Amino acid sequence: MQRLVAICRLDDIDREGGVTALVDGEVVAVFRTYADDVFALDNFDPFGQASVLSRGIVGTRGDRDVVASPLHKQVFDLRTGLCLDDESVRVAVHPVVVRDGVVHVEAATASAP
Amino acid sequence: MSPHLRKRLVVVGHGMVGHRFVQAAVERGLSETYDIVVLGAESRAAYDRVALTSFFEVGADALSLLPSGDYEDPRVTLRLGTNVAELDVASRTVSLDDGETIGYDELVLATGSAPFVPPVPGHDLEGAFVYRTIEDLEAIRDAAARASTGVVIGGGLLGLEAANALRQLGLDTHVVEMNPRLMSAQVDEAGGRILGRHVEKLGLTIHTGVATERIEGEEHVTGITFAGGETVPLDVVVFSAGVRPRDQLARQAGLAVAERGGVAVDDQLRTSDPHVWAIGECAAHQGRMYGLVAPGYTMAEIAVDALLEGAGTFTGADMSTKLKLLGVDVASFGDAHGTTEGSIDLVFSDAVAGVYKKLVISDDGRHLLGGVLVGDASAYGTLRAMVSSRIELPKNPEELILPASSGAPGVTLPAEAVVCSCNTVTKDDIEGAVEGGCESAACVTTCTTAGSTCGSCKPQVKKIVEDYFASQGKVVDRSLCEHFAMTRAELFDVVLVHGYRTFDEIVEAHGRGRGCDVCRPVVASVLASQLNGHVLAPDRRVLQDTNDAFLANIQRNGTYSVVPRIPGGEITPEKLIVIGEVARDFGLYTKITGGQRIDLFGARTEQLPAIWKRLVDAGFESGHAYGKALRTVKSCVGSSWCRFGVQDSVAMAIALELRYRGLRSPHKLKGGVSGCARECAEARGKDFGVIATEKGWNLYVGGNGGAVPAHAQLLAGDLDDNELVRMIDRFLMYYIRTADRLQRTSTWIDSLEGGLDRVREVVVDDALGLGTELEEAMARHVDTYVDEWKATIEDPEKLRRFVSFVNAPDTPDPNISFGSTRDQIVPEASTGPVSLGPVSLGTSIPVGRP
């Protein structure tokens, strides 16, 4: 089963900024792009081994929306979670729905221990 | 080795070469087996005699090669003001003036040379000087204050230096040269004529081919009479008629001396006594004395090597020179006078432009043997390398010296050509550095040391780098990133010219896409430098790196460290206690930094406002340890407490730190202020370093520690407080405007055409007329500074982001946990992402809350 968890209002996220959210016990980074698209990734940086991705700089590489890890600057595609500097690495993506100005992130069930 | 088995090495003379010998001896471990005793006759430790003329501008301290007055190695004893009266090689002792006798196992003579004063009548009157020591210059300066006309006897290199000094002291200056031309040792007749014309344009009067009959005067000099009977009235006369080796000790001791003076030495610099060595200007190798410092340094290194039983030998030295005399470029290299049998001269002369160039070519026309350049020495690097590498001349060798051919068209140096003769770096070494990743001449200089000593080959290095890239079909891409096809300096100008205030305006007009982790912080920094608004203003904060975004330094586990400003490192006990209490109450790891402040580690995002509330309430402000900004201005304790201090370094450091706090720049910036020449604040390891002198402050720029340490270089000397601040204002703003992203001041200076000289032109001489503008820009920064942490804790909108979770602001991130080492917290190694649950919560240690 999957369900949507309301995180915050869209206005609570800076355009081209990120916030950290707790989604069913999981730590998730939620980003808002310049075009007001909202994406969610696992907040855990697999390179730096720390919970930091929401605090990275949001920008673009080519026509992809990306975030750069604040620890060592590896860049992740916001849509796919793929690391563009090392394509063998990917962080999990969480589906997002923005409804009535409120950001909802889909929680994966049964993933918690 | 136990002390009584240690041997003693005595060095007589503490000039540049004696000092270099001691440095090399310590570096190469000679002091492991020898106690080194250095006996210097002058009251000062070694100083830069090559730059002696700059004494009037920068003062004595800046010239010192040993500012602390002593060697760090305790096995080296320096005794200044000590005259050696006698050398006895049989008993291996030297006797001092006062009768003291010092025994030696090995003796090094580095006594240098003494000015030659021709025995003309009146040479010993008051007002007659030589030009050799700082004391000589002080005496000349004092005499010049009461004089209007000065005459220099001797039109060689040093004579022209002395003439320049007299001219700078405001005297009507004459130069008298017995030879038919100036600088007869270096240039030929035609070159000397052009040089003479340049010098006369500066207002000097030249008398060549003239012998001095006598100096007129009763007690004090009043005039000079030439052999022809002509008399010129004067108030000051300076003898600069060459030097003579100071070889008296060796003569008295019965050592062999060369026919024309100088202690005779073999290829290892050993004299006729196996335990006595001679180096520098007092030595004569194959009968020849070298009056340049570079061969002296080489001798010093080889003598150390020989004492270590190495196999190095001295085989003579390249006497090529290039210098700027009275603003005129003069260079001579190889066989400048065409003494090689059958050699052919090739001359280009433009008397109107004041340019003279001569090439000396082998009789078969195939090789370059030497040459002379006056007025335009830009081809020096290529030509000297062509001589040393003996490559074949191009078909039309005259092209090498025709105007506007500094690049020496048609000449491709062979890979083994020595481009930098100071450090023996070949063209091959330079191309290797470029292949290895260097993208600029400045980087090549750092990697290979080519151009790092005298700098005369820098244009050559640059050309080799450019040629290499051209041959590879590569253009050096200086774009900031994929979003901006310009450098940071260009971006800075674009923003300044258009008056942009937001990233959106800038990227829409001059970039593409929405930026990245490279260009967004650069734009934030440029806007901060120009507008100085809050870094967390709504349209700015998403441009900032996480450190600036949270006004703290991110650490490996995603927590932050906090550094309150402690200006100049001075702090009251009360404030120190507050820092301790805050650290204790929030459970922070505490460490003292190298910048004389205190770093508190392990703060979670959501704790930062509460920590800063406590600190701000106690009177602290942001230390900007997180920013590409001014960090600290380190100081020694200065004249208020230290018995050696000559200026109040603490007060100056505090004033500078408060002036430049919050200043955003291309890279972090550090300063230092030392209260005396002992330099306890390590100011020369800083981007701007200030060292007190008896008369004020010397300003050094371009120092840093880190992976590629750099020693700051003197920008200006003996400044008063206001001048000092004005120079630093200009220097920092010039740097902020023109440096590349993440370029420290040292590499920025190296990257400028002209290097430090260029910085001096712009900052000190105001050659671009930018001085006032730069000062005003700094004044705006100072006037609009606010503490960004205080402003943050007073603004709920800015505080909104200092939470662990947007939907659970007070719940700590379960991924952060700490262990304990030496009674303080340390980050625990992560084993992967942690979900929040009752179990994982328990893994974090409780952290106190206020």
Sort out which chain B residues have CB atoms less than 8 A from A20's CB and list them.
803-806, 813
Query: What does DSSP assign to residue B819?
Result: E
CB contact under 8 A, B521 and A57: yes
Q: What is the pLDDT of residue B845?
A: 36
Q: How far apart are CA B379 and CA B97, in angstroms?
A: 51
Q: How far is CA B220 from the centre of its chain?
A: 41
- Most A CBs within 10 A among B481, B483, B516, hence the mutation to make, goes to B516
B713 phi, psi to nearest 5 deg: -110, 150
Q: Mapped to the 3 state alphabet, what secondary structure does chain A carry?
A: CEEEEEEEEHHHCCCCEEEEEEECCEEEEEEECCCCCEEEEECEECCCCEECHHHCEEEEECCEEEEECCCCCCEEECCCCEECCCCCCECCEECEEEECCEEEEEEECCCCC
Of all residues in chain B, the one with the smallest CA distance to A73 is B517
Q: Is A90 on the interface with B (CB under 8 A)?
A: no
Contact A12/B815, CB-based, under 8 Å? Answer: no
Q: Tell me how far apart the alpha carbons of residues B325 and B333 are, in angstroms, rounded to a whole number.
A: 16
Residues in chain A closer than 8 A to B557 (CB atoms): 50
Chain A residue numbers touching B835 (CB-CB < 8 A): 25-27, 111-113
**Would the CB atoms of B554 and A52 count as touching at under 8 Å?**
yes
Q: Does B482 sit within 8 Å of A62, measured CB to CB?
A: yes
Residue A110 sits at the chain B interface (C-beta within 8 Å): no
**CB of B508 within 8 Å of any CB in chain A?**
no
CB contact under 8 A, B541 and A44: no
Q: Give the mean pLDDT of chain B.
A: 89
CB B380 within 8 A of CB B456: yes
DSSP state of B607: G
Could you tell me which chain A residue has the CA closest to the CA of B557?
A50
CA distance A4 to chain B (A): 14
Instruction: Check CB contact under 8 Å for A59 and B517.
Output: yes
B158 exposure class (CB count in 10 Å sphere: 0-12, 13-18, 19+): buried
Residues sharing a CB contact under 8 Å with residue B404, sequence separation 6 or more, in sequence order: none
Strands (E), B351-417: 355-361, 368-374
Is the Cβ pair A59, B837 closer than 8 Å?
no
Q: What is the pLDDT of residues A54-98, one digit of tens each?
A: 999 999 999 999 999 999 999 999 999 999 999 999 999 999 999
* Burial B398-411, CB ≥16 within 10 A → b, else e: eebbeeebbebeeb
pLDDT tens-digit series, residues B512-563 = 999 999 999 999 999 999 888 899 998 899 999 999 999 999 999 999 999 9
A7 vs B: CB within 8 A:
yes
Shortest alpha-carbon distance between residue A86 and chain B (Å): 17
Q: CA-CA distances (angstroms) from residue B114 to B43, B169, B415, B519?
A: 16, 24, 42, 60
Q: What residues contact residue A87 under an 8 Å CB cut-off, 6+ apart?
A: none
A49 and chain B in contact, CB less than 8 A: yes
Pick B557's closest partner by Cβ from A25, A50, A66. Answer: A50
In whole angstroms, what separates CA B265 from the centre of its chain?
34
Compute the radius of gyration of chain A from its Cα atoms.
13
Please indicate if any CB of chain B lies within 8 Å of the CB of A92: no
Q: What is the DSSP string of B86-130?
A: EEETTTTEEEETTS-EEE-SEEEE---EEE-----TTTTSBTEEE
Q: Which residue in A66, A46, A42 sits closest to A56, CA to CA?
A: A66
| CA distance, residue A56 to nearest chain B CA (Å) | 6
CA-to-CA distance for B236 and B253, rounded, in angstroms? 38
Chosen from A38, A43, A52, A89 to mutate, greatest number of chain B CBs within 10 A: A52
Residue B52 burial (10 A CB sphere; 0-12, 13-18, 19+)? buried
pLDDT score for B2:
54
Q: Which pairs from B819-828 meet CB under 8 Å and 24+ separation?
A: B824/B589, B824/B590, B825/B587, B825/B588, B825/B589, B825/B601, B825/B602, B826/B589, B827/B555, B827/B556, B827/B557, B827/B559, B827/B602, B828/B557
CB contact under 8 A, A19 and B806: yes
Q: What is the DSSP letter of B390?
A: T
Task: At B711, list the tokens.
Answer: 């020693």
Chain B residue with CA closest to A25: the answer is B836
Residue with tokens 């050094």: B700
B796 touching A, CB under 8 A?
A: no
Interface of B with A in 818-837 (CB under 8 A): 829-830, 832-837
- Taking CB atoms and an 8 Å cutoff, what residues of chain B touch A50? 556-558, 815, 830
Residue B758 burial (CB count, 10 A): 15
| Mutant choice from A51, A76, A111 vs B, greatest count of B C-beta within 10 A | A51
pTM of the model: 0.63
Q: Indicate the residue of B482, B517, B556 with minimum beta-carbon distance to A57.
A: B517
CB A16 within 8 A of CB A23: no
CA B68 to chain centre: 17
Residue pointed to by tokens 């800038």: B506
Chain A contact present for B525, CB below 8 A:
no
Answer yes or no: are the C-beta atoms of B508 and A18 closer than 8 Å: no
- DSSP letter, residue B377: -
Q: Which of A22, A32, A83 to mutate to test the interface with B (most CBs of B within 10 A)?
A: A22
Answer whether residue A104 shows pLDDT above 60. yes
Instruction: Kindly determine whether residue B516 and residue A68, on different chains, have CB atoms separated by under 8 Å.
Output: yes
Q: Which two tokens stand for residue B344?
A: 């052919």
Selected residues 246-265 of chain B with any CB under 8 Å from a CB in chain A:
none
Q: Do residues B271 and B263 touch, judged by C-beta distance below 8 A? A: yes
Task: For residues B536 and B524, give the distance between their C-alpha atoms in angstroms, rounded to a whole number.
Answer: 10
Burial of A109 (0-12, 13-18, 19+ CB in 10 A): exposed
CB contact under 8 A, A7 and B806: yes
Name the token pair of B305. 């090597």
Q: What's the confidence (pLDDT) of residue B701?
A: 97
- Exposed / middle / buried, residue B497 (Cβ in 10 Å: 0-12, 13-18, 19+): exposed
Query: Rg of chain B's alpha carbons, rounded to an integer?
Result: 32
Q: Measuring CA to CA, which residue among B41, B39, B43 is closest to residue B77? A: B39
Burial group, residue B457, by CB count within 10 angstroms (0-12, 13-18, 19+): buried
Show which of residues 380-399 on chain B sit within 8 Å of chain A, judged by CB atoms.
none
CA distances from B3 to B278, B559, B726, B751, B827 (A): 27, 53, 53, 50, 49
| CA dist., res. B303 & res. B310, Å (int) | 9
From residue B237, alpha-carbon distances to B139, B147, B225 in Å are 12, 11, 12
Identify residue A1 by its one-letter amino acid code.
Answer: M
- Closest-CA residue to B813 (of A39, A43, A45): A43
Calpha distance B371→A71 (Å, rounded): 57
* Candidates A22, A44, A60; nearest CB to B805: A22
Q: What is the pLDDT of residue B476?
A: 66
Tokens describing residue B690: 């200030």
**A38-42 and A26-32: which strand pairing?**
antiparallel
Longest dimension (CA), chain B: 109
CB contact under 8 A, A51 and B815: yes
Give the whole-angstrom CA distance, residue B770 versus residue B765.
Answer: 10
What pLDDT shows up at residue B488?
93
Which ranges of chain B have pLDDT less than 50?
Answer: 1, 405-410, 838-850
- Rounded to the nearest 10 degrees, what angle do helices B519-531 and B503-510 cross at? 120
Residue A17 to chain B, least CA–CA distance (Å): 6
Contact B833 A44 (CB under 8 A): yes
Are the CB atoms for B693 and B701 separated by under 8 Å? no
State pLDDT tens for residues B407-438: 444 456 777 777 877 677 888 889 898 888 88
Cβ contacts of A58 on chain B, cutoff 8 Å: 514, 542
Distances in Å between the Cα of B744 and the Cα atoms of B86, B623, B702 are 52, 19, 8
Any CB–CB contact under 8 A between B799 and chain A?
no
> Residue B813: which of A17, A51, A59 has the nearest Cβ?
A51
Structural domains of chain A sorted by starting position, each given as residue range(s) with its CATH number in brackets: 4-106 (2.102.10.10)
Q: Does B554 touch chain A (CB under 8 A)?
A: yes
Please give the ipTM for the structure prediction. Answer: 0.94
pLDDT confidence of residue A108: 65
Within 13 Å of residue B205, how many CA atoms lie on the same side as its CB? 10
Question: How many CB pairs below 8 A link A and B?
Answer: 133
Q: Which residue of A has its CA nearest to B544?
A: A57
C-beta separation of B52 from B44 below 8 A? no
